[in-house]
Structure 1
Amino acid sequence: MKKLPIGIQNFREIIENGYVYVDKTKDYHNLIQNKYCFLSRPRRFGKSLMLSTLKEIFKGEKKLFKGLWIENKIDWNIHPVIHLDFNLITHHLDIETFERTLLHALKSSALEYNISIDEEDPKNFFQQLVTALSKKAKVVLLVDEYDKAVIDYIDAPDKAGTNKDYIASFYEAIKGLDACFRFVMLTGVTKFSKVSVFSKLNNLRDITFTDTYSTMLGIREEELYANFEPHLKQSADALDIKDDELKSKIRTWYNGYSWNGRDKLYNPFSILSFFAESSFNNYWFETGTPTFLIELIRKNHFLLPDLEGIEVENYSFGSYGHDNLEPVPLLFQTGYLTIKEKKKGFSDEMLYRLGLPNREVKRSLLNNILGYYTGKGVSHAKPPYLKMLQSLASEDFESFIHFLTAAFASLPYNLYPAKEDYYHSIFYLILVMLGAEIDAEILTDKGRMDAAIHFSDKIYIVEFKTGDVKKGMQQIRNRRYWEKFGLRNKKILLLAVGGFDEKKIEYLIEHP
């Protein structure tokens, strides 16, 4: 059984040391038919490994690609490669340190090709380096995490702005060197509209949403089964479950990322970590959700069930800057939202329906949001609610309402306006945190129901009303929400929750 390359982003190391490698070289072959490309993907999604692989392709290292798709598909011409990894360039101190470490990275590339340049300004050094290298052959430029110096300070606009202005000036040098380049690739997490690399370098093609490249990073399900069969068996044995059940569970936990609304992908870091541990955990988010994102959600009065089913146009993804943050595009580009559906709008513009990709993301993000709202850590926010789900499972409704009332009583009044959407949102947060299978804002042919909570033997249809709880039950009955689940062969219970006057909660429970 091959070793798992957890945290390893160097193609040569993976191949020479016998790690599992999912062959994406057919995609890379298509990619290098272009000249200038930009690709946005979330962190830990394979961007660095892709650039490392491209570096070896352009350096003509055919021996590393034995048995891979690209082995006999190209001529293996050798090109000088400048590989700038902004993960390794210091940007957290001051602009002088940023400039000095960027220059050091460029000098390392010059040293690799025995080129001597007497220049201390990084932009001028870069221009001279590219010009000198192009005398050998056309140059390949690979830039990893181009935006790291900005995204790391997204909650400190002045610092982000200073770094943004500097890197924009540096990247501007690329355009004047067009004749020297064979291929230029920039990767990052975000596409800030105000970073002038996207205005001054106007021949840079953004392939983030291009269907041809939608599965170039991440692991498709067929790739998972083809490359990780021994690891699947090992995990099934460790968890003492059947193969089909294991596949279903890992699909629920780690699959679901999409950039075209059709092809679903696994997060590489999460699935590798799962196979290493044979345990369903939140691997990608183990360091926690950034506080600035939670604060951004709160400031915009963003209701959490609204994260499922948001519709946006294409321009929304790049229509913000570091000093004008928009929660939806930022949540998408950082991996907290993904594309569920892609369709044409009334004016032929593309519309994207977004949602949370999988259970790992949903539980991790919402756990941290609830902990933030309560003013406590996740470990402290969770224990008071642990019996709530058990009460629903055992149909002990008095206990359920008792625990729900206690949960709402612990929350500050000023989080949201006192309306049913707020209570619905918190209810959703709590149940997701507890591991419930819950669907929110479900569209039916009779209207939109607030929630459906699924158990192995029953389904709750839930409606919230801030006033008379009877109105909630009447809405469920008038619109016959339960008919959507009529073929599930499960007991159906209708639950209306209302009141909320001074956080006193009432309920009605009925059968269809």
Structure 2
Amino acid sequence: MLRSFNPCRLGFCGVKWEKTLEEMKKLPIGIQSINKVLLNGDYIYIDKTLFIKRLLDEGAPHYFLSRPRRFGKSLFLNTLKEVLSGNKELFRECAIYESDYDWKHHPIIHLDFSQIPNKNPELLETGIKETLEDIAASNQVTITGSSNKTRFKRLIEKLSKKNLVVILIDEYDKPIIDQMHHHSIAQENREVLKSFLETLKGSDDYLKFSFITGVSQFSQVSLFSGLNNLKNITMNPKYAEVMGYTEKEIKTSFDDHIQAIIKKRSEQGRSTTEKQVLKELRSWYNGYRFTRSEAYVYNPFSTLNYMDEQETSPYWYRTGTPSFLISQVKKTPETITTLRGKSILDTTLSHASHIEKVGLAPLMFQTGYLTIRSYNPEEDSYQLDFPNKEVEKAFFDSLLKDFAEIDPLMVQRDAKELLADLRELNLSSFITKINIHFAKVSYHLFSHAQEGFYQAVFFTLLEASGIRTVAEMATNIGRIDLICEMEHATIIFELKLDKTADIALKQAEIKKYQERYALDGKEILVMGVNFSSKSRNIGEWKGKLFCPSGGLKKELYPG
């Protein structure tokens, strides 16, 4: 049926043409096949093919790239596979189509370690063997050998008789990440992988190109130590936007879906604008930065699901509970209070080689729970923070549930009142509410608990309530335990266990912590807080409120 002419639907009258769901391009949620995405032009595709052209032009034999899970690694590898298979016509609408790439066909060995069993090294060895045999059979060759290393080498050599071979390895570190709670198995799996991947070292004469992806870099050093010519592009500014969506890509490729969100909310009586939708999208799913350059990208998985569901939700976070992170927190609870704003050297951030020694902050960066906020060239260091609302909120909810064993909903219900108490410096009410939540912490968690545990619970309760904090802030003569920046006041907490509030407050006074904020034009509250292992909560507190000029305004204490 023909539609009646409507000039506004054609873009006149200052009104955008609202497409129906049938007219809009589909969202490629969960699709890892570039052939399915591009073949009929039905799906949105953010064109990353010029990055592939750049990789091939650079001519390095082996590349490594780390990105968080569900960030587009598998789709990128599948795109590499189709390009290097010479499937030119598939990319007719992509930038690489008009380039000078030669589109020669190369045999492909594609190994996806997310599909190979890894509960123990024996299963891992068997899975690799079966995968190699399947690849050989699909290429009409047979392979033999007493080890996977030998089979891999012979497969490469046989396929190279057709043309130089391309090696694509996805999620190389899955056998390690999955077993991090069993260090011995993780170490044994790493040795299996190390031996297997050493095959690439002596195969350059048979290879066109190899590309390896994973979530982490912590095992990269020892795993690929034999590959002296491995080029790690994980933190290379030239590839900062190789995965994830940029702000420009969001605006140009998802405009129809953004308009659909506006229309739906309008029909629900929730009037909104394009600017508001973009702001919501940005605060929830943008903020990932992987290099020194100030290039930020959106989480592609969450962005696609947001466009589909048309509401915010922790889509990426809830696809994989970070149990290995919670395990790390339980071992060293004091480390979580320093996550926000933590500065870390480049070598520590990206080149830790021991599973059992990897720090919480590098691990959270590599797995996508922290991101780069700024870079200090003088120190060659990075300052880290949570990338966006999705990760920040969901992570602290997980800490409440799995670390402190408190129902996040109970904290959420009190969050507004807790925040209001702190803003208004209603400290007795604030401490009372905190202690109510401490009473909900499981009894067994306090067994042998040190000061770091109490600080971690306190920090988690604040963050889960929407109270932004910074810990371990350095001054010229010490480190402040915890700082909350409110609209009209800066609150400094000095925290102790089984001492006194006087001792805590005296330490803050001696070290003159308030002087760091004396020129900010806000009041400064310095609080001494003492946790009691007997009552298992905040036993005592005292505070001093200073004027913006630095003079003492009044003392604060219970009663």
Instruction: Pick the TM interval, shorter chain.
Output: 0.7 to 0.9
Farther off after superposition, 189-198 or 171-180:
189-198
Q: 2:20 aligns to what?
A: none
Return the offset for 1:188.
0.7
Return the offset for 1:250.
1.8
Change (3 A) 1:483 1:439: farther
Return the offset for 1:98.
2.5
Q: Is contact 2:72–2:244 with CA below 8 Å preserved after alignment?
A: yes
1:91 paired with 2:118, answer yes
Change (3 A) 1:426 1:12: same
Whole-Å Cα distance in 2 between the matches of residues 210 and 334 of structure 1? 17
**Pairs aligned (count):** 496
Q: 2:316 aligns to what?
A: 284
Return the offset for 1:185.
0.6
Whole-Å Cα distance in 1 between the matches of residues 97 and 54 of structure 2? 14
Q: 2:494 aligns to what?
A: 465
Question: 1:200 is paired with a residue of what secondary structure?
Answer: coil
Whole-Å Cα distance in 2 between the matches of residues 233 and 155 of structure 1? 45
Give structure 2 stretches of 5+ with no counterpart.
Answer: 1-23, 496-500, 533-537, 549-559
Whole-Å Cα distance in 2 between the matches of residues 243 and 473 of structure 1? 50
1:307 paired with 2:307, answer no
Q: 1:368 aligns to what?
A: 398
Question: 1:67 is paired with a residue of what secondary structure?
Answer: coil
Change (3 A) 1:322 1:475: closer
Q: 2:6 aligns to what?
A: none
Whole-Å Cα distance in 1 between the matches of residues 105 and 115 of structure 2? 26
1:11 paired with 2:39, answer no
How high is the TM-score relative to the length of structure 1?
Answer: 0.86
Q: 1:148 aligns to what?
A: 174
Return the offset for 1:393.
6.6
Q: 2:383 aligns to what?
A: 353
- Match runs of 1:215-230 below 5 Å: 215-230=241-256
> Once superposed, which parts of structure 1, at least 4 consecutive aligned residues long, lie more than 6 Å away?
442-449, 469-477, 508-511
Change (3 A) 1:452 1:374: closer
Whole-Å Cα distance in 1 between the matches of residues 332 and 368 of structure 2? 19
The amino acid across from 2:313 in the alignment is N
The amino acid across from 2:493 in the alignment is F
Change (3 A) 1:274 1:453: farther
- Match runs of 1:236-315 below 5 Å: 236-237=262-263, 238=265, 240-261=271-292, 262-287=294-319, 289-315=321-347
Whole-Å Cα distance in 1 between the matches of residues 80 and 189 of structure 2? 27
Farther off after superposition, 497-506 or 248-257:
497-506
Give structure 1 stretches of 5+ with no counterpart.
Answer: 487-491
Whole-Å Cα distance in 2 between the matches of residues 401 and 497 of structure 1? 11
Question: 1:117 is paired with a residue of what secondary structure?
Answer: coil
Q: Is contact 2:108–2:165 with CA below 8 Å preserved after alignment?
A: yes
Return the offset for 1:254.
1.2
Q: Is contact 1:463–1:496 with CA below 8 Å preserved after alignment?
A: yes
Return the offset for 1:212.
1.0
Q: Is contact 1:150–1:160 with CA below 8 Å preserved after alignment?
A: yes
Q: Is contact 1:192–1:319 with CA below 8 Å preserved after alignment?
A: yes
Question: 1:250 is paired with a residue of what secondary structure?
Answer: helix
Q: 1:28 aligns to what?
A: 52
1:388 paired with 2:418, answer yes
Encode CA deviations 1:67-119: one digit per residue, 9 max, x unaligned: 21101211211111111111111222x44433332222222322332223355
Change (3 A) 1:443 1:222: farther
Q: Is contact 1:59–1:79 with CA below 8 Å preserved after alignment?
A: yes
Return the offset for 1:444.
11
Whole-Å Cα distance in 2 between the matches of residues 181 and 497 of structure 1? 64
Whole-Å Cα distance in 2 between the matches of residues 345 and 494 of structure 1? 31
- Match runs of 1:76-225 below 5 Å: 76-92=103-119, 94-119=120-145, 121-193=147-219, 196-225=222-251
Q: 1:53 aligns to what?
A: 79
Return the offset for 1:49.
0.7
Encode CA deviations 1:43-82: one digit per residue, 9 max, x unaligned: 1111111100000000111111112110121121111111
Question: 2:468 is paired with a residue of what secondary structure?
Answer: strand
Return the offset for 1:494.
5.2
Change (3 A) 1:315 1:232: same
515, 518, 538: which one pairs with 1:479? 515
Whole-Å Cα distance in 2 between the matches of residues 437 and 120 of structure 1? 59
Question: 2:132 is paired with a residue of what secondary structure?
Answer: helix
Farther off after superposition, 83-92 or 120-129:
120-129
Q: 1:234 aligns to what?
A: 260
Q: 2:7 aligns to what?
A: none
Return the offset for 1:141.
0.5
Q: Is contact 1:143–1:186 with CA below 8 Å preserved after alignment?
A: yes
Whole-Å Cα distance in 2 between the matches of residues 288 and 377 of structure 1? 19
Q: 2:356 aligns to what?
A: 323
Change (3 A) 1:95 1:444: closer
Q: Is contact 2:339–2:385 with CA below 8 Å preserved after alignment?
A: yes
1:336 paired with 2:369, answer yes
Q: 2:93 aligns to what?
A: 67
Q: Is contact 2:288–2:297 with CA below 8 Å preserved after alignment?
A: yes
Change (3 A) 1:384 1:473: farther
Q: Report sequence identity in percent.
A: 33
Whole-Å Cα distance in 1 between the matches of residues 469 and 408 of structure 2? 22
Farther off after superposition, 5-14 or 474-483:
474-483
The amino acid across from 1:253 in the alignment is W
The amino acid across from 1:2 in the alignment is K
Return the offset for 1:191.
2.4
How high is the TM-score relative to the length of structure 2?
Answer: 0.80
Whole-Å Cα distance in 2 between the matches of residues 356 and 122 of structure 1? 41
Question: 1:342 is paired with a residue of what secondary structure?
Answer: strand
Change (3 A) 1:415 1:285: farther
Return the offset for 1:372.
3.0
Whole-Å Cα distance in 1 between the matches of residues 320 and 171 of structure 2? 20
The amino acid across from 1:465 in the alignment is E
Q: Is contact 2:489–2:523 with CA below 8 Å preserved after alignment?
A: yes
Q: CA RMSD in A?
A: 3.2
Whole-Å Cα distance in 1 between the matches of residues 216 and 513 of structure 2? 45
Q: Is contact 1:303–1:422 with CA below 8 Å preserved after alignment?
A: no
Change (3 A) 1:393 1:240: farther
Change (3 A) 1:313 1:499: closer
Whole-Å Cα distance in 2 between the matches of residues 395 and 2 of structure 1? 52
Q: 1:489 aligns to what?
A: none
Whole-Å Cα distance in 2 between the matches of residues 265 and 129 of structure 1? 38
Encode CA deviations 1:204-263: one digit per residue, 9 max, x unaligned: 111111111121111111111111111222233435322222222221211111112411
Encode CA deviations 1:295-351: one digit per residue, 9 max, x unaligned: 3134234343411222222221222322333222212111112122223236xxx22
Question: 1:37 is paired with a residue of what secondary structure?
Answer: strand
The amino acid across from 1:99 in the alignment is E
Whole-Å Cα distance in 2 between the matches of residues 391 and 199 of structure 1? 55
Farther off after superposition, 118-127 or 363-372:
118-127
1:440 paired with 2:470, answer yes
